[in-house]
Amino acid sequence: MELQTHYRACNLCEAICGLTVTHQNGTVVSISGDPADPFSRGHICPKAVALKDIYEDPNRLRRPLKRVETHGEVSWHEIGWEQAFDEVAHRLHQVRTQHGPNSIGVYAGNPTVHNSGSFLSMPGFVRSIGTRTMFSASSVDQFPHHFAAWQLFGHPLLMPVPDIDNTDFWIIMGGNPIASNGSIMTAPDVATRLRAIQQRGGRVVVIDPRHTETAKRADEHQFIRPGTDVFLLLAMTQVLFAENLVNVGRLADVTDGIDTLREAVMPFSPETVATVTGVSASDIRRLTRELANTPRAALYGRVGVSTQEFGGLCLWLVNVLNLLTGHLDEPGGMLFTSPAIDALAARPGVPKSAYNKYNRFQSRVSGKPEFMGEIPVACLAEEAETPGPGQLRALVTSCGNPVLSTPNGRRVDEALAGLEFMVSVDIYLNETTRHADYILPPLTGLETANYDLTFHVLAIRNTARYSEPMVPKPEGAMYDWEIFENLRLRLSGTPREEWNLQNPAKTIDQGLRFGPYGQTGLSLDHLLANPHGIDLGPLRSQLPGRLQTPDHRINAAPALFLADLARAQTALGQQVIAETIAPDQPASTQLLLISRRHLRDNNSWMHNARVLVKGRNRCTLLIHPDDAARFGVTTGQPVRVRSRVGEIEIPADVSTEIMPGVVCMPHGYGHNRPGTRQDIAQQHAGASINDLTDEAFSDTLTGNAALNGVPVWVEGVV
Ligand code: SF4
């Protein structure tokens, strides 16, 4: 067969870069950037090339596996799809009958949201079980972003993104878009866009406990002590009021709560927070004035401010600072998108019942609040371990690896081993799926159709692109939506003769036709005829029309946030953050742990691609020279690091890149558990940061795990 060319969007991270893939007889020959993609303009990162590795990976599962245990020995047997569907549905049905629907949990991993097939078919499957025990990677990541968007703008998906192509001043807190390629901000080729800000005379400031890859390209970097961003943000808000810099502008007519907010932040002067944050009072004032006085400016906070003890307050204040300085919903500031498939478009006059997304029920054991229909995944282990009505007895995982990606992974590991039943929809036998009774492997990446439902909603430019599968469906393979649909039909008791699998392509077509661009002829056929994607124009101001709050107004001081301020006030009064969870360890020996991401890492699941893991070991512990001297550690030496919940061994990397008192390691490693089938990942096992993170350490408001600012101590060289 001749060399063929295939165009698609990369589904590995949020940047959704356009790819040009050449292939012959089912073999990938090359992967490069698609210069005709109107959004990514030919940009790709090294991870895109690894799509070939995943496609060809001999460790990848291609048929359903059934676990068989004989005299304590586990073996895995390939079985047919019909047998797998029937047996899985039967076992789930048994658990549901015996223990009730809520005894079956569902965990949706991060790749679920990068795949419209699983994203659209999972909800129907979950409804067919009837469970409300839903977990996802969102509660170890961006719950606070959704929470703030819901409280301020009326819907968890109504999150503004920085208009970086037009801004002149960009403050980035707890984000490293040069490595992550942007997050809650779909922006391919951040490096070029960041350089363009500087070339037009603008400035970029990074505030982070590490001198990150983004900080190295910025105009200014400020170290900040992990977990204290809330105090910096409160002080910045206080400065706005104290110096009469508040100028809400066009949105003043629809904004309430300004006076209440002024009163709430008054105690947090820059002087009161300087010591605990590590940012001087004069720098806090200077940055606040620059934010207020630059006509086109944006303050952006990401995972470092989200996954911490005060994540909800942080994201509220990030939005409030943009609002008070007149940068919300303005070009060059923070703008809302107009996606081609718009989940919010058909919601005029939102009823109050639809507005309520929080605390409608609580987790069974520790009483954590539900948010968006989910229980924080930090509760998963206790829900499985603790006897009583509603105990978690069975689990369904969709392309996630909570053993490596959720707090206290060792405890999660043991809890999964004790379940009555588990099924995983996944392409690998990994640290989590090794506990499953069945693994159902879907087609993935290049082989699937995809429309980025979520990432077009967060993109800094309105575009639309549909990717077809590169190759016809291989004999005996299943798309993820077919897996969920087959299970749904069995669990819902639909008579076999009435089975009708819902193809997500139809939903996507309807979403396009009835979306904001439907009248211009946008449809699935239109996108199929334009395989490089189409440009729908720059973001534009949309408030107040797009507000989803019941009164179509913005309350800058919602009661939930004001109530949570007391917690921050107490912590500030004691000048201690996080240390209360390790009270027995002398403060002098404690360090605060943060995570980091490398351009070649993608959470836990791409370490089996040799092209991404080759070279120098990246799973190291960054430690400042002063701390290294204190503990007698030099670069390359393996050290033992402990936290309240566990310990790891990891080579030290002594560097001034990290601030004193803080240590940093990547997340997603720890591939040394037995019984997995990922040969390359095992050779680059590293240590799991989540063997140190603590399920008891969370943002009590949103339920999001606090994965940054975790107290640890180094116990010397191994
Ligand atoms: S930046 Fe993200 S979307 Fe773009 S090529 Fe890399 S992994 Fe793929």
Q: What is the mean pLDDT of the segment spanning 101-121?
A: 94
Cβ of residue 16 lying under 6 Å from some atom of ligand 1: yes
Cα 616 to ligand 1 centroid, rounded to whole Å: 22
Cβ of residue 17 lying under 6 Å from some atom of ligand 1: yes
**Residue at token pair 């603008």:** 202
Cα 109 to ligand 1 centroid, rounded to whole Å: 18
Cβ of residue 19 lying under 6 Å from some atom of ligand 1: no
Probe target for ligand 1 pocket from 7, 8, 11, 13, with the most ligand atoms within 8 Å of CB? 13
Cα 621 to ligand 1 centroid, rounded to whole Å: 26
Residue 229 lies in a domain: yes
Tens of pLDDT, residue by residue over 148-177, are 999 999 999 999 999 999 999 999 999 999
Cβ of residue 600 lying under 6 Å from some atom of ligand 1: no
**If 0-12 CB within 10 Å is exposed, 13-18 middle and 19+ buried, where does residue 660 land?**
middle
Cα 192 to ligand 1 centroid, rounded to whole Å: 15
Judge if 630 and 695 occupy the same domain. yes
Partner residues linked to 342 by β-bridges: none
Query: Cα dihedral angle (138, 144, 149, 154), rounded to 10 degrees?
Result: 80
Tens of pLDDT, residue by residue over 362-420, are 999 999 999 999 999 999 999 999 999 999 999 999 999 999 999 999 999 999 999 99
Return all residues near 599 (Cβ < 8 A) that are at least 6 apart.
Answer: 45, 46, 47, 178, 179, 181, 213
Q: What is the mean pLDDT of the segment spanning 689-716?
A: 95
Q: What is the pLDDT of residue 585?
A: 64
Instruction: Give the Cα separation of 712 and 647 in Å (integer).
Output: 9
Q: Sorting pLDDT into bands at 50, 70 and 90, what band is 80?
A: very high
User: Cα 610–613–614 angle (5° rounding)?
Assistant: 80
Cα 458 to ligand 1 centroid, rounded to whole Å: 15
587: pLDDT strictly greater than 90: no
Task: Tell me the helices (H) and strands (E) count for the chain, helix number first.
Answer: 24, 30
Scored b (16 or more CB within 10 A) or e, 241-273 reads bbeebbebbebeeebebbeebbebbeebbbebb
Closest by CA to 15, choosing from 52, 46, 56, is: 46
Probe target for ligand 1 pocket from 32, 181, 611, with the most ligand atoms within 8 Å of CB? 181
Q: What is the pLDDT of residue 353?
A: 57
Cβ of residue 181 lying under 6 Å from some atom of ligand 1: yes
Residue 449 lies in a domain: no
- 3-state secondary structure (DSSP) of residue 167: coil
Q: What is the pLDDT of residue 108?
A: 96
User: Cα 700–703–706 angle (5° rounding)?
Assistant: 80
Residue 233 lies in a domain: yes
- 3-state secondary structure (DSSP) of residue 535: strand
Q: What is the pLDDT of residue 69?
A: 93
Cα 668 to ligand 1 centroid, rounded to whole Å: 18
Q: Sorting pLDDT into bands at 50, 70 and 90, what band is 718?
A: confident
Residue 165 lies in a domain: yes
Q: What is the pLDDT of residue 574?
A: 78
Judge if 555 and 670 occupy the same domain. no
578: pLDDT strictly greater than 70: no
Q: What is the mean pLDDT of the segment spanning 205-222?
A: 98
Instruction: Give the Cα separation of 65 and 76 in Å (integer).
Output: 6
Cβ of residue 478 lying under 6 Å from some atom of ligand 1: no
Cα 183 to ligand 1 centroid, rounded to whole Å: 12
Cα 428 to ligand 1 centroid, rounded to whole Å: 21
Q: What is the pLDDT of residue 26?
A: 87
List strand residue ranges (DSSP E) for 71-142, in order: 73-78, 104-108, 134-136
* Tokens (6 digits) for 526: 């239109």
Return all residues near 632 (Cβ < 8 A) that are at least 6 apart.
Answer: 716, 717
**Strand order through the sheet with 203-207:** 220-222, 203-207, 169-173, 297-301
Q: Sorting pLDDT into bands at 50, 70 and 90, what band is 459?
A: very high
Decide which of 274 and 588 is more confident: 274
- Other CB atoms within 10 Å distance of the CB of residue 405: 29
Q: What is the mean pLDDT of the segment spanning 680-684?
A: 95
Cα 10 to ligand 1 centroid, rounded to whole Å: 6
Scored b (16 or more CB within 10 A) or e, 592-605 reads bbbbbbbbbbbbbb
Judge if 554 and 666 occupy the same domain. no
Cα 187 to ligand 1 centroid, rounded to whole Å: 10
Tens of pLDDT, residue by residue over 488-539, are 999 999 999 999 999 999 999 999 999 999 999 999 999 999 999 999 999 9
Judge if 550 and 663 occupy the same domain. no
Judge if 551 and 662 occupy the same domain. no
List strand residue ranges (DSSP E) for 432-532, in order: 438-440, 450-451, 461-464, 466-467
Cβ of residue 13 lying under 6 Å from some atom of ligand 1: yes
581: pLDDT strictly greater than 70: no
- What backbone torsions phi and psi does residue 659 show, to the nearest 5 degrees? -80, 155
- Other CB atoms within 10 Å distance of the CB of residue 459: 25
- 3-state secondary structure (DSSP) of residue 517: coil
Probe target for ligand 1 pocket from 11, 14, 17, 602, with the most ligand atoms within 8 Å of CB? 17
Q: What is the pLDDT of residue 591?
A: 94
Q: Sorting pLDDT into bands at 50, 70 and 90, what band is 104?
A: very high
* Tokens (6 digits) for 263: 């009163």
Probe target for ligand 1 pocket from 45, 446, 458, with the most ligand atoms within 8 Å of CB? 45
Q: Residue 311: which CATH number?
A: 3.40.228.10
Amino acid identity of 525? D
Cβ of residue 188 lying under 6 Å from some atom of ligand 1: yes
* Tokens (6 digits) for 401: 């690896």
Residue 298 lies in a domain: yes
Judge if 185 and 325 occupy the same domain. yes
Domain end point (choices 560, 591, 606) = 560
Cβ of residue 15 lying under 6 Å from some atom of ligand 1: yes
584: pLDDT strictly greater than 90: no
Q: What is the pLDDT of residue 132?
A: 96
Tens of pLDDT, residue by residue over 333-355, are 999 999 999 988 655 455 555 66
- 3-state secondary structure (DSSP) of residue 32: strand
Instruction: Give the Cα separation of 583 and 476 in Å (integer).
Output: 56
Cβ of residue 33 lying under 6 Å from some atom of ligand 1: no
Judge if 551 and 595 occupy the same domain. no
Cβ of residue 18 lying under 6 Å from some atom of ligand 1: no
Cα 179 to ligand 1 centroid, rounded to whole Å: 10
Residue 205 lies in a domain: yes
Judge if 553 and 598 occupy the same domain. no
Judge if 554 and 625 occupy the same domain. no
Atom 6 of ligand 1 has which residue's CA nearest to it? 45
Can you tell me which atom of ligand 1 is nearest the CA of 602?
A: 7
Percent of the chain at pLDDT above 70? 97
Probe target for ligand 1 pocket from 47, 53, 193, with the most ligand atoms within 8 Å of CB? 47
Instruction: Give the Cα separation of 456 and 339 in Å (integer).
Output: 6
Q: What is the mean pLDDT of the segment spanning 614-629?
A: 95
Q: Sorting pLDDT into bands at 50, 70 and 90, what band is 716?
A: confident
Q: Residue 664: which CATH number?
A: 2.40.40.20
Q: Sorting pLDDT into bands at 50, 70 and 90, what band is 305?
A: very high
Q: What is the mean pLDDT of the segment spanning 240-262?
A: 98
Cα 12 to ligand 1 centroid, rounded to whole Å: 6
60: pLDDT strictly greater than 60: yes
Can you tell me which atom of ligand 1 is nearest the CA of 46?
A: 6
Arithmetic mean of pLDDT over the chain? 95
Q: Could you list the residue range(s) of the whole structural domain that residue 233 is in?
A: 143-340+546-560
Cα 419 to ligand 1 centroid, rounded to whole Å: 36
Tens of pLDDT, residue by residue over 314-338, are 999 999 999 999 999 999 999 999 9
Decide which of 210 and 571 is more confident: 210
Atom 2 of ligand 1 has which residue's CA nearest to it? 13
Cβ of residue 314 lying under 6 Å from some atom of ligand 1: no
Amino acid identity of 636? G
Cα 28 to ligand 1 centroid, rounded to whole Å: 18
423: pLDDT strictly greater than 80: yes
Pair 668, 601: CB distance under 8 Å: yes
For residue 99, the 8-state DSSP code is H
Judge if 555 and 700 occupy the same domain. no
Count of domains observed in the chain: 2
Judge if 205 and 304 occupy the same domain. yes
Cβ of residue 44 lying under 6 Å from some atom of ligand 1: yes
Q: What is the mean pLDDT of the segment spanning 58-79?
A: 96
Cβ of residue 8 lying under 6 Å from some atom of ligand 1: no
Cα 45 to ligand 1 centroid, rounded to whole Å: 5
Percent of the chain at pLDDT above 90? 92
Count CA atoms within 13 Å of residue 205 on its CB side. Answer: 19
Residue 79 lies in a domain: no
Residue 603 lies in a domain: yes
Cβ of residue 235 lying under 6 Å from some atom of ligand 1: no
Cβ of residue 48 lying under 6 Å from some atom of ligand 1: yes
Judge if 556 and 603 occupy the same domain. no
Cα 214 to ligand 1 centroid, rounded to whole Å: 17
Cβ of residue 10 lying under 6 Å from some atom of ligand 1: yes
Q: Sorting pLDDT into bands at 50, 70 and 90, what band is 610?
A: very high
Cα 600 to ligand 1 centroid, rounded to whole Å: 10
H-helix or E-strand containing 711? strand 710-717
Cα 647 to ligand 1 centroid, rounded to whole Å: 33
